[in-house]
Amino acid sequence: MKTLKLPSGKSIPVLGQGTWRMGEDAAKRRTEIDGLSLGLDLGMNLIDTAEMYGEGGAEKVVAEAIEGRREEVFLVSKVYPHNASAKGAVEACKRSLERLKTDYLDLYLLHWPGSVALSETLAAFQTLKKEGLILDYGVSNFDLKGMQKAMSLTGGYEIATNQVMYNLVNRGIEWDLLPWSAENGLPIMSYSPIESSPRDQKGFLDRPALTGIAEQHNASAAQIAIAWLIQQGVVVIPKASDPKHIRENRAALDIVLSTDEITLLDQAFPPPQRRMPLAMR
Ligand code: NAP
C-alpha cells in the first residue's frame, strides 16, 4: 500500500476503510466484519473508527475483523470531545482499546473541537503516547485557525494529522487548510470521500463529468472520486460494506487521472474562490 509520512516519521496508508454507521445493527454485523476483513485482504490496512460509532459498537466490529492480524493494521480511533479532558481522554482511550481487543492505537484523534480546553486533551494524548497506548495523535474537524492555535500549545507540534470532510463537492480546504497542512508536513485525512449517505450521493455520483471519466477508465464514478482524492495527496477512508464497493475502492488506487481529466473535474466541481467555512458532517 502506498503511504504518506506523518511528522513522527511513521507511515500512514493513503487508502483505508471507514466504519461510521457500523456496529449499530446486529443483522448487519457479519457483513460488516467480513467486509473489513476483505478490505484487509485486499491491502486496505488502515481502519478508521471512533468511540462514537455505534456507541462503541463499531470498535467491537473492528476487533473481530482484525483478530489475529493486528500487526497488519494501521488502527485509528477518536475520542468524543466531551470525554477529552486530561483524565477523561486517557480513560476513553483505554475503553476503546478494550473494545478493540488491542493494546495500542496507531493514531488517536480528537473527534471535533469541543468545550474542554485543547491543552488538556493534548496533555492526555502525551500521557497515552508515553505509556505506549497510542503511537501518534491528531485532531479532526479543525479549520486553519483551530490548527494554528493547536500547534502553538504544548504538545501541539506533535499533532500528526487533521481528519476533515474533503471530496469533489466540498473543496473548501484547498483555499487555506490544505496548503498550510502541506507546508507543515501534516497529511490530511479525507472523510466522506464519496459524500457519505446514499441520499447525498444522488446528484453527485451521476454527474456527467464523473460518469464520463469513469467510462474512459472502465470504472465507477465512486472510483474516480476516490482516485482524484488520492491524487490530491490526502489519506482517503471510504466506508463500504458491500463487497463490490470494497473491491472497487481498492482498485481506485490504481487509477491515474490525466491532466485533462483533472481539468474536466475542476470545471464540474470548481475549487474554492475564497475562504470557506469548514464542511462538517
Ligand atoms: P463515504 O465513505 O463517503 O460513503 C459511504 C457510503 O458509500 C456507504 O453507503 C457505502 O455503501 C457507499 N459506497 C462505498 N463505496 C462505494 C462505491 N465504490 N460505490 C458506490 N457506493 C459506495 O462516507 P462516510 O462513511 O461518511 O465517510 C467515510 C469514513 O470517514 C467514515 O466511515 C468514518 O470512518 C469517517 N468519518 C469521519 C468523520 C469525522 O468527523 N471525523 C465524519 C464522517 C466520516 P455500502 O456500505 O453499502 O458499501
For the chain, domain boundaries: 3-268
Q: What is the mean pLDDT of the chain?
A: 97
pLDDT at 201 over 90: no
| Contact 193 CB / ligand 1 (< 6 Å) | yes
User: Does any ligand 1 atom lie closer than 6 A to the CB of residue 51?
Assistant: no
- Of 194, 202, 249, 280, which is best to mutate to test ligand 1, by the most ligand atoms within 8 angstroms of its C-beta? 194
Ligand 1 atom at minimal distance to the Cα of residue 164: 41
Residue 112 CA: which ligand 1 atom is closest? 40
CATH superfamily placement of domain 3-268: NADP-dependent oxidoreductase domain (3.20.20.100)
Output the pLDDT for position 175: 98
Is 168:201 a contact under the CB 8 Å cutoff? no
Assess whether the C-beta atom of 35 lies below 6 angstroms from ligand 1.
no
Residue range 17-74, pLDDT digits in tens: 999 999 999 999 999 999 999 999 999 999 999 999 999 999 999 999 999 999 999 9
Residue with cell 446514499: 198
C-alpha cell at 226: 476516490
Q: What is the pLDDT of residues 124-176, one digit of tens each?
A: 999 999 999 999 999 999 999 999 999 999 999 999 999 999 999 999 999 99
**Distance between CA atoms of 264 and 256, rounded to whole angstroms?**
14
- Give the pLDDT score at 52: 98
* Torsion angle, alpha carbons of 158, 228, 20, 51, to 10: 0
Report which residue type is found at 16: G
Closest CA to 119 of 82, 83, 94, 156: 156
Q: Is 5 helix (H, G, I), strand (E, B) or coil?
A: strand
141 lines ligand 1 (CB under 6 A): yes
pLDDT for residue 197? 81
Pocket flag, ligand 1, residue 45 (CB < 6 Å)? no
Q: Is 74 in the pocket of ligand 1 (CB under 6 A)?
A: no
**Grid cell of 246 as nine digits:** 470494497
- Strand blocks (E) in the chain: 3-5, 11-13, 16-18, 46-48, 74-79, 107-110, 137-140, 159-165, 188-191, 235-236
| pLDDT confidence of residue 215 | 97
| DSSP β-ladder status, 159-165 and 137-140 | parallel
Cβ pair 67, 101 in contact under 8 A? yes
| Spatial separation of the C-alpha atoms in residues 78 and 63, rounded to whole Å | 15
Q: Which grid cell sits at 17?
A: 476503510
User: Cα–Cα distance between 195 and 202 in angstroms, integer?
Assistant: 9
Residue 232 grid coordinates: 490530491
Residue corresponding to grid cell 477512508: 237
Q: Name the residue among 28, 81, 93 with its Cα closest to residue 239.
A: 28
Question: Is the distance from the beta carbon of residue 250 to the nearest atom of ligand 1 less than 6 Å?
Answer: no
pLDDT (average), residues 86-98 = 98
Distance CA 85, CA 67 (A): 30
Nearest CA to ligand 1 atom 29: 18
Query: How many H-runs (helices) and E-runs (strands) does the chain carry?
Result: 11, 10
| Residue pair 257/231 in contact by the 8 Å Cβ criterion | yes
Closest atom of ligand 1 to CA, residue 195? 3
155: nearest Cα among 132, 139, 144: 139
Atom 18, ligand 1: which residue's CA is nearest? Answer: 245
